[in-house]
Structure 1
Amino acid sequence: MQPESASYRGYQAYGYLEPGVDYADFKLADQLSRVPAYDGGLSAGQRERAGRILAEHIAISLHEHAVVLPADTGEIRAYNRTGRQRTAYAGLARSGLTAVFDNFMAGASCVTSEHGWKWDDMIYALGFRLADLAKQDFVVHATTVAGIRAAKREGRVALVAGLESSTMIENELDRLDILYGFGVRQIGIAYSQANQLGSGLAERSDAGLTHFGRRAVERMNRLGMAIDVSHSGDRTCLEVIEHSRVPVFITHAGARAVWPTNRMKPDEVIRACAERGGVIGLEAAPHTTLSEAHREHSLESVMDHFTYCVDLVGIDHVTFGPDTMFGDHVGVHKTYAGNYGHDRDPAPEHPRVPYVDGLENPAENFTNIVGWLVKHDYSDDEIAKVIGGNTLRVLENVW
């Protein structure tokens, strides 16, 4: 975890309103010390070098949920039903990040329905959060590469608004324009379950990108909206990558060759993404990116996927999308286990963990990632690429 940014003045989410009067109040999880700090075993010199690299270079997390959850996991559904998820300003101020792709937990914002991905619910999740961002001056809502670069110069954090699925647009192509107008700059095709655009990775069969899906990809390209295929089925991934005229992101996944579940991507998809100029961000949500060498999920497990992907497609096409939040992520999975079938096929037996050691929340993720890369003798240029440079290159093409 990095020192607190000098640009952060202590603002807390919805500080312009009165909790318990203007909105429902919840006791929230600790943003900075919910779990013990990770010990990466770095020397003093390695820690100094890691801190310098984060200070000098643009660091972009390609996929997070930069919100604070209730301390009591039994309150997660009630909290999400309000639509007012709390941006984790204090945690982001200690993250060392330049920019974070925040995916707004729209599938869990069950305001009007228990099943998520409804248009109205997504508008609640997006609108409340962006209204709150507008009332403070540390986290900036970024819609351009220039905005990300400006955040770096000013010592602030740029938040890129993203959504993990296009399910909520239904068969309304123009809703993509509306989302772009609201400042959304990255969107997924499908979230595990099939929708009007294509198949999700939980489905037993994958018919690929639909006719409407092809039109949607074309509209996303015209708008300048980055496309994500993390939760799409394999055939749908390949057809999206082929149909898009600009590079596509796999914002948060891993390599199926390292851990054999459908949540991970096969070599064919990772290669296709890279060959068209895209990037894969390595996932760290609990019990996803495991490996035979590190079956107890931790930073080491995730880095096994990193080294495999670098060997497969080269260091110019790999980055990190840890997919974390401030609070009990395992509790979120348990809360919504009945809503989405993420894994069509069971994973091999492995120990269950209460959290992923070293990649538990956005405040610590990139400090520990850079520390690992320093410890394993990656060069400054290589580290700069994988913590943000590769993502920035794609955005300059897509946006």
Structure 2
Amino acid sequence: MEKEDNMISHDKKESVFELKKYGGYKSYEYLEAGVDYIDFKLAPEFDRAPKHDLDLDDVEAQRTAQLLRDNIVISLHDHPTVFPEDMSETRAYNRTGRQRTGYAGLAKSGMTVVFDNMMDGTACVTSKFGWKFDDVIYDLGMRLSDIAHQDFVTLCRNAEDINQAHETGNVTLVMSLEAATPIENELDRLDILYGLGIRSMGIAYSESNALGSGLKEPGDGGLTMFGRQAVKRMNQLGIAIDVSHSSDQTCLDTIEHSEAPVLITHAGARAIWPTKRMKPDEVLKACAESGGVIGLEAAPHTSLSHDHIEHSIDSVMDHFEYCVELMGIDHVSFGPDTLYGDHVGLHDEFASNLGVHNATAAPDYPKMPYVSGMENPTECFFNIVGWLVKHGYSDEDIVKVISSNTLRALNFIW
């Protein structure tokens, strides 16, 4: 499913270390903190949690660094936002609409492309429960204003922007929404969001909406008639469709009605961890058959496994290896779903907004303070690539799962 026009190249003629570097810009520094906007004490972007030891030897570490340096690296789902150190302040922080982008952390992450899902259901500028159209526009507009005042992070609107970021050593953000809930029953709002830069969107979050069923609902009504119209419009616009938080039948219906590959940007395999948040084999195989990819999830207490019950990169990679076996390595990638701050605390603070991560039928598991090796956007891909190197994966297969699988799908969708 490849388009000949506007293809994304993997060629890189210069080392990233010889190209433009991050200049030290911090979010909203064109304004005066405490005067023009409310200031908060923020979580650190580095070393909030102990580093995960992959036990790489010198050759493996050098190979890992080389793979990150020489190739496009894509996170299908993250929130590269710096949160308050005290997570109880997050609602007040989000209410200002001025979430801080972790520029310094992104500069050291090795990532080229980040599907940035902003605040989504926690964008509580005017409401307690998020997902309002006005809140999303406010959140998006503030972020774009901040991005416009610096020159390290760019806005990704098409395939060529990915090439440009790779060639210049920049990081480019694909502005995304985890659900289409804010469009309500207004189809043209998809066009408005596209015009403002949105290039990826979920069907439903945990709660159902006008398009389809969410994954925490007691019933599963699948994709609605309006949902079918929205899928068609997203295909026409060139918005990547995400079904990570949609119910099983909504996933299957969306894949059936979409003329473009459908993405599961952040999830895992239900066969490895039996919760609604993970996807059953039927959905995973349908995604692959559509030409889509799954991004493996690493948010706390989601992609656990029986073999690695204490959530870590090893738990996530149990899902990775299962999906590779089931779907084929050409349809697997990574969407770690990380942020800068206490992710477990965020889940606790927004339990009513964020829905359920684990169904009651799930086995007992220990609550961890963070996911070892996947705690924040800066460390994820060094550890992912290092793990793959350590476990004998070829350079060709590693490049597939960190970029080329997703690029193939995006070339068709966009």
* Range class of TM-score, shorter chain: over 0.9
**Which residue matches 2:363?**
348
Report 1:130-141 matches (<5 A). Answer: 130-141=144-155
Is 1:235 the equivalent of 2:249?
yes
**Which residue matches 2:172?**
158
**Which residue matches 1:126?**
140
Q: Supply the distance in 1 between the matched residues of 2:201 and 2:18 (Cα, whole angstroms).
A: 30
CA contact (8 A) 2:347 2:354 kept: no
Q: Supply the distance in 2 between the matched residues of 1:15 and 1:178 (Cα, whole angstroms).
A: 28
- Shift in alpha-carbon separation, 1:295–1:250, aligned structure 2, 3 A: same
**1:338 alignment partner, one of 349, 352, 356:** 352
**1:204 alignment partner, one of 218, 222, 230:** 218
- Following superposition, the deviation at residue 344 of structure 1 comes to 6.9
**Which residue matches 1:57?**
71
- Following superposition, the deviation at residue 92 of structure 1 comes to 0.1
**2:197 alignment partner, one of 183, 190, 209:** 183
CA contact (8 A) 2:126 2:135 kept: yes
Is 1:315 the equivalent of 2:329?
yes
Q: Supply the distance in 2 between the matched residues of 1:4 and 1:141 (Cα, whole angstroms).
A: 22
Report 1:1-399 matches (<5 A). Answer: 6-343=20-357, 345-346=359-360, 347-399=362-414
CA contact (8 A) 2:302 2:358 kept: no
- Following superposition, the deviation at residue 339 of structure 1 comes to 2.5
Q: Supply the distance in 2 between the matched residues of 1:3 and 1:189 (Cα, whole angstroms).
A: 39
Summarize deviations over 1:197-246 as a string: whole Å, max 9, x none.
Answer: 00000001111110000000000000000000000000000000010000
CA contact (8 A) 1:58 1:387 kept: yes
Q: Supply the distance in 1 between the matched residues of 2:26 and 2:50 (Cα, whole angstroms).
A: 23
CA contact (8 A) 2:176 2:201 kept: yes
Q: Supply the distance in 1 between the matched residues of 2:378 and 2:160 (Cα, whole angstroms).
A: 24
- Shift in alpha-carbon separation, 1:125–1:5, aligned structure 2, 3 A: farther
- Shift in alpha-carbon separation, 1:244–1:116, aligned structure 2, 3 A: same
Q: Supply the distance in 1 between the matched residues of 2:301 and 2:322 (Cα, whole angstroms).
A: 18
Whichever residue aligns with residue 220 of structure 1, its letter is M
CA contact (8 A) 2:302 2:357 kept: no
Corresponding residue SS for 1:239: helix
**TM superposition score normalised by structure 2:** 0.95
- Following superposition, the deviation at residue 131 of structure 1 comes to 0.7
- Shift in alpha-carbon separation, 1:254–1:218, aligned structure 2, 3 A: same
CA contact (8 A) 2:121 2:353 kept: no
CA contact (8 A) 2:122 2:353 kept: no
Q: How well do the aligned residues superpose, as a CA RMSD in angstroms?
A: 1.3
Q: Supply the distance in 2 between the matched residues of 1:3 and 1:33 (Cα, whole angstroms).
A: 23
Whichever residue aligns with residue 165 of structure 2, its letter is A
- Following superposition, the deviation at residue 4 of structure 1 comes to 12
Whichever residue aligns with residue 162 of structure 2, its letter is I
| Unmatched runs of 5 consecutive residues or more in structure 2 | 1-15
Corresponding residue SS for 1:338: helix
- Following superposition, the deviation at residue 345 of structure 1 comes to 2.3
CA contact (8 A) 2:223 2:250 kept: yes
Corresponding residue SS for 2:352: coil
Matched residues, percent identical? 63
- Shift in alpha-carbon separation, 1:303–1:392, aligned structure 2, 3 A: same
Is the deviation greater in 35-44 or in 340-349? 340-349
Q: Supply the distance in 2 between the matched residues of 1:118 and 1:301 (Cα, whole angstroms).
A: 35
Summarize deviations over 1:37-95 as a string: whole Å, max 9, x none.
Answer: 11111001100000000111110000000100001112111111111111100000000
Summarize deviations over 1:105-155 as a string: whole Å, max 9, x none.
Answer: 121010111011001111111010011001100000011111011101000
Is the deviation greater in 304-313 or in 333-342? 333-342
CA contact (8 A) 1:209 1:240 kept: yes
CA contact (8 A) 1:84 1:124 kept: no
Corresponding residue SS for 1:128: helix
Q: Supply the distance in 2 between the matched residues of 1:278 and 1:300 (Cα, whole angstroms).
A: 24
CA contact (8 A) 1:98 1:157 kept: yes
Q: Supply the distance in 2 between the matched residues of 1:6 and 1:293 (Cα, whole angstroms).
A: 43
Q: Supply the distance in 1 between the matched residues of 2:206 and 2:17 (Cα, whole angstroms).
A: 37
**TM superposition score normalised by structure 1:** 0.98
| Unmatched runs of 5 consecutive residues or more in structure 1 | none
